[in-house]
Structure 1
Amino acid sequence: MTAPRLIAEPGMRAARHVLILFAVAAPLGGCESYRPAPISAARSAAALDARSLGDPRLQTFIAAAESASPANGGAGAWGLDKLTLAALYYHPDLDIARSKLAEARAGVVTAATIPNPTLSFEELSYNASLATPSPWVAAPIVNFLIETYGKREFRTARASHLVEAAREDVATASWQVRGRVRNALIDLSAAKRRSTLLQQRLALQNELVTLLEHRLSAGAVSSLDLARERIARDRAELEARDAEGRLAEARNALAAAIGVPAAALDGVDLSFTALEHPAPPKAAALGSLRREALVGRSDVQSLLADYAAAESALALQVASQYPNLKLGPGYIYDQGQSKFMLLPETELPIFNQNQGPIAEAKARRAAAAARFTALQTRILNQVDGAAARYFAAARAFDAAKALADRAAARQSSVEHAFRAGEIDRPSLLTGEIEGATAKQSLLDAEVQRLQALGGLEDALQHRFLAASAPLPVVRADPRRPVEGRS
């Protein structure tokens, strides 16, 4: 195709330029306009600092997401379910996953788009020396690209599979956010209970030291006995101070897991009911749960969609062996004569038949299959390891509970003996300190069991702690009026 020739007088040239520009720009009337969206670090920081669990839009989101049964902990309390929904609303990891989903959905629109025709001029000239029948020669051509062998369908199928993968990635992010909220809630509950137990133990140690000091002055005990209890008291005081610090850290960790500032938890009625009554799996049911995880986990479904996208990409490259067709219907006005033409054009696959891109697509499909097998292997090991840790922690908890029960029985016997006048006050305090120590050991075993159960939840993507609110919640952005699929 030769370059257009434009020979005209200055005034007529300007008029033709205007007409051509109008013809090209007319279809652009429905185009989207650019709207700048600058980010202000100061405004963003202020918005983050103003986040609150009392936000009306958050409350609307929670009300829409909860099932008919009340959320764990009661209507006014913030239990694991409601805190998880708050994290799904606020946490930036979900924003990132949702934005990738929105990008993938836009990719479907791009893939399904029919190529626009192009307008060109084979010739546009003006012969000033010729007056009749016409001094003009004009040859406009409209070029249409016709994609063959279903290329657009394969391209659209690949983009649709990537949307499914991105949707499953949102589900994976939801599970990860829930896991962090659950772990932070377990740590906060443990820190609160541990701080209470240590304060009680410290009070008992202080009272015991005071009694022994009085007895030492009366010569009733040795200085060695008093020194031993003072050391125990100092250790208890250090542990109590450390527990206070851990309580503050656990509170901040819970706020971070939700995606709000720590001040947002001020005055919030937190409920730990979900941690008090877990529904752990039976060993006999673990096999079916593991099979479900190997097939149905969101990251498994995401990689399956990735593999399907790689399949569609390979099919597209195979179809690309066959050239597309270009049609250029045109019209020539040649100095008073009208001529019509059809200019078909196609690529000649002589030097290559798209072997390179096909080989690359095959390799990417093989890599997707390898990633899928590797993921299932990791899940298998993760589930087996988490199950072993949980059942070991459950046995340790049962042993700690038996020890705590025996310590409680001994304490009850000591209290009975004290009321009967058979033992003195220091002996009673020693028994109570032993009981408080046993309770602390039981708490540690209980926390380890809950943490192991949480790890098993993550491995199976199956909830054993609280199960009333729906998960995952897949939306484009719950803080905006535009919603995606749920």
Structure 2
Amino acid sequence: MFFGLAGCAVYHPAPLALHDPLQASVAGLRNQLPGGGAVALGGALSLPDVAALAVLNDPDLVAARAQRGVGEADLLSAGLVPDPSLSAGFAALLSGPGSMPALAGGLSQDVSALVTYRVNVRAAKAGLAQVNAQILWQEWQVASQAEQLCIMLDGDAQSLATLRADHDALAQVNNATLAQVAAHNLTVAAESVSMADLAAVDTALNTAVQTRGQDRDQLDALLGLQPGTDVAVALSPVQPLNPAAVEDAINSLAQRRPDLIALRFGYEQADAKLRGAILSQFLPVSIGATAGRDTSNVWSAGPQVSLSLPLFNRNRGAIAQAKATRAQLAAQFQASLASADAGARALLARIALLQDESAAADTQAAAAVKIAAQARAAFASGALDASSAAGLQSAATSREREAIALRVQLLTARLSLETLTGVGLPPIAAAPMEPAA
């Protein structure tokens, strides 16, 4: 018995870390990949590098991975057998013909865990697999979000460049207008219009700067960086979609998407718990032995068995609850599968529309830029006034911003489609289902 007590767990304090876990630069991030290798932190990062760093360092993901320990503990608990029970009794002789105190003792073992061992372990394994699939789905979403923010930040930078070009052109027009008004060649109304145009561009420029700051802070949060930390990213061309591959991915969503796999494991866990509830109609069951001596010095010993007779309760409440839970999870899986299929196909149609709109916007922007270049040359030669040249320049940069916005929408939509269809993720094999009880 003392050897058994020596193996008992003991308490060890684990105080919370109260320091700020956010890093001041990319160099401080965790970059060791689970399969070996590391993300190079020197120089500009690629989109896959940013995605990997987000998965490794996102504080929410670090907290989510701690849930795996709870699932592992449940699996350990499901495979353990209860400790035996030891009982002893002493009854002093107070009166009567007896000649000595009575003694009693017993040793019993609850064997209920052996009856439900297989279903309990199966339920615990399914629960752990569900947690792992949920964490994988969260990791994939974080990776996709990090890549989308990089694309958005690149679009923000391009838009800011066009707005600054507008500001410079309108500032030049405004200065020329002020000079003409001072020379009494133009009225104050012209000055008012010029200043209003410049103020409108400055407002748009300030809004764009704020938007870029918000996108940067969101990326910093995913990477575990302090707000305001700039991350150098080098974007590579995004490959066009393969319609056949996308169609295959949509048709195999139930085998590919981790959130759907998690629901399947959740259903399997509920099915195992239903079987356990049915087996529990006869529980608890315990076996053991008792021995004792009565007051007349007669010794006796023998086996002891106890179990529940399913006559009245029959664990019907727990069985009905387990059946309802399994049915609810089956309906939830079907609804989620239908929603995933519809969402992926709707996004695929939106991408096709965005591709056409983006191509048209790029063509219009290129034509407007060409006209603006001709206008600048005409203005330099004195053949065009400053106001007309600035107007054509603003029209060109406006077209460019429209093209940039559509391009960002297209690229982020493609990344969203990859997330929704699980493209890039290996299929996750769910454990084979046993026949339902």
Identify whether the pair has TM-score above 0.5, normalized to the shorter chain. yes
Q: Calculate the TM-score normalised by the size of structure 1.
A: 0.77
**From 15, 19, 28, the counterpart of 1:55:** 28
Matched residue type, 1:243: A
1:80-112 deviations in Å (ceiling 9; x for gaps): 333333322332321332122210110011111
**Structure 2 counterpart SS, 1:320:** helix
Matched, 1:177 2:142: yes
Q: Residues of 1 paired with 2:427 and 2:207: CA distance?
A: 36
The 5-angstrom pairing of residues 386-405 of structure 1 reads: 386-405=347-366
Matched, 1:250 2:227: no
Please give the root-mean-square deviation of Cα atoms over the aligned residues, in Å: 3.3
- Report what 2:423 is aligned to: 462
Q: Residues of 2 paired with 1:390 and 1:171: CA distance?
A: 26
**From 35, 38, 41, the counterpart of 2:12:** 35
Deviates more, 1:454-463 or 1:369-378: 454-463
* Pair 1:279–1:98, CA change in 2 (3 A): same
Matched residue type, 1:270: A
Matched residue type, 2:86: L
* Pair 1:148–1:104, CA change in 2 (3 A): closer
Matched residue type, 1:124: F
Q: Residues of 2 paired with 1:256 and 1:153: CA distance?
A: 43
1:204-254 deviations in Å (ceiling 9; x for gaps): 111122233334555666665554333222211221222222222222222
- Structure 1: runs of 5 or more not aligned: 1-22, 473-486
Tell me by how many angstroms 1:309 deviates. 0.6
Matched residue type, 1:242: T
Percentage of identical aligned residues:
21
* Pair 1:285–1:180, CA change in 2 (3 A): closer
CA contact (8 A) 1:189 1:272 kept: no
Tell me by how many angstroms 1:411 deviates. 3.2
**From 124, 131, 139, the counterpart of 2:90:** 124
**Structure 2 counterpart SS, 1:34:** coil
Q: Residues of 2 paired with 1:273 and 1:67: CA distance?
A: 22
* Pair 1:55–1:37, CA change in 2 (3 A): same
The 5-angstrom pairing of residues 270-285 of structure 1 reads: 270-274=232-236, 277-285=237-245
CA contact (8 A) 2:81 2:113 kept: no
CA contact (8 A) 1:332 1:340 kept: yes
The 5-angstrom pairing of residues 161-176 of structure 1 reads: 161-176=126-141
Tell me by how many angstroms 1:420 deviates. 6.9
Matched residue type, 2:64: A
**From 338, 358, 367, the counterpart of 2:328:** 367
* Pair 1:76–1:229, CA change in 2 (3 A): same
**From 320, 336, 344, the counterpart of 2:280:** 320
Q: Count residues with an aligned counterpart.
A: 426
* Pair 1:337–1:149, CA change in 2 (3 A): closer
**Structure 1 counterpart SS, 2:213:** helix
**From 345, 361, 384, the counterpart of 2:306:** 345
CA contact (8 A) 2:282 2:309 kept: no
Q: Residues of 1 paired with 2:382 and 2:82: CA distance?
A: 98
- Report what 2:193 is aligned to: 228
- Report what 2:394 is aligned to: 433
* Pair 1:353–1:184, CA change in 2 (3 A): same
**Structure 2 counterpart SS, 1:371:** helix
CA contact (8 A) 1:294 1:380 kept: no
Matched, 1:107 2:74: yes
**Structure 2 counterpart SS, 1:192:** helix
* Pair 1:426–1:347, CA change in 2 (3 A): closer
The 5-angstrom pairing of residues 136-215 of structure 1 reads: 137-147=102-112, 150-215=115-180
* Pair 1:305–1:269, CA change in 2 (3 A): closer
Q: Residues of 1 paired with 2:51 and 2:404: CA distance?
A: 24
Q: Residues of 2 paired with 1:242 and 1:167: CA distance?
A: 41
1:141-180 deviations in Å (ceiling 9; x for gaps): 1011223884111111111100010000101111222233
Q: Residues of 2 paired with 1:471 and 1:258: CA distance?
A: 27
Q: Residues of 2 paired with 1:220 and 1:66: CA distance?
A: 73
